[in-house]
Homo-oligomer: A and B are copies of this chain.
Amino acid sequence: MVSPMLSMNQATIKHADLRQTLDTLTQTGYHSVGLWREPVEAIGVPEAVRMVSDSGLCVSSMCRGGFFTMPEGPERRAAIDDNRRLIEETSAFGCTVLVLVVGGLPQGSKDLAEARSRVAEALAELEADALAAGVTLAIEPLHPMYCTDRACVSTLDEALDIAAPFNPKAVGVVVDTFHVFWDPNVLRSIARAGREGRIAAYQVCDYRTPLEADPLLSRHYPGEGVIDFKALTQAVAATGWHGDIECEIFNRAVWDTPFDEVSRHVADAFDKYVAPYWPAE
């Protein structure tokens, strides 16, 4: 029995193609899946939409747009256009959340403030497309160790400040436990995100040290690290937000485990470490 509010992000079984992902999740009893564009585009969006529709799974989020911190020019235009395509792609699955990893410092730059202002400029260009498609662009603050090469937005407060000028239907934030648990303001920031109607996704996975040699792959099953899922989950629940909670793990050992085993492990870890702090439906 898989918790009805649990979704598994496809990257947790990275080596599965879309067919294998859908089969694994439906066989384990999931109701929802978080998709990545690469396996979707590998078979083509229309076919992927049919497969997901046939599976009966909801799509909790599409990963990932963003990477638009470069200066004006052809590369930036391509990035904005790519995000427009992704908004359409997200909408094609009946999904309302496009996760944004906003990008780090452009080559040769040391100016984080400028990179951050380019995020705001990109959102201004994309807001109308997002509203028209019924898709929320969800800024994901990433752990500060990824600040310069992946996402110059590091805290929930900063993501909320950037989102503030935009319609909350068009621009929201992702609360990912791995990325924000260390922040001394995290509980206040989650409450603020709730008040401002900005929570678009809640993602769970654990953190522990030593970090893996590739720090991107340091995400673990809930309960296998040091994150206090009770405090964070209760804080999200207290905002009144309800949506599918995604478990998203990047970890070589998890990727090397049989898909069905991973999907059951995720469901069990979620039941033990997250679900007890989420109000019953």
Residue of B nearest to A110 (CB): B228
Interface of A is mostly: loop
User: A226-B110, A228-B111 are contacts. A148–B182 as well, Cβ < 8 Å?
Assistant: yes
Q: Complex: how many Å from CA A84 to CA B20? A: 61
User: How long is the Cα–Cα vector from A158 to B184 in the complex, in angstroms?
Assistant: 7
Contact yes or no, B116 A184, CB < 8 A: yes
User: From residue A252, how far is it (CB to closest CB) to chain B in Å?
Assistant: 14
* Chain A 169-195 near chain B by CB (<8 Å), digits 1 or 0: 000000000000111100000000000
Check B213–A182 contact: CB distance below 8 A.
no
A105 at the interface (CB under 8 A from B): yes
A146 to chain B, nearest CB (A): 8
Distance in angstroms between the alpha carbons of A145 and B208 in the assembled complex: 10
Interface residues on A, range: 20 to 34
Q: Which of A156-176 contact B (CB under 8 A)?
A: 158
Q: Is B148 within 8 A of A209, CB to CB?
A: yes
* Among candidates B147, B184, B208, residue contacting A148 with C-beta atoms closer than 8 Å: B208
With known contacts A158-B184, A184-B116, A226-B105, A215–B110 Cβ distance under 8 A: no
Partner of A215, one of B154, B181, B211, B228: B211
| Chain B residues, CB < 8 A from A210 | 149, 214
Q: Enumerate chain B residues within 8 angstroms of A144, measured Cβ to Cβ.
A: 143-145, 182-183
Chain B's nearest CB lies how many Å from the CB of A111?
6
Binding site for B on A (CB under 8 A): 105, 109-113, 116, 143-145, 147-149, 154-155, 158, 181-184, 207-211, 213-215, 226-228
A-B contact pairs, 15 of them (CB 8 A): A105-B226, A110-B227, A110-B228, A111-B228, A112-B228, A143-B144, A144-B145, A147-B182, A148-B207, A148-B208, A148-B209, A149-B209, A154-B183, A155-B184, A215-B215
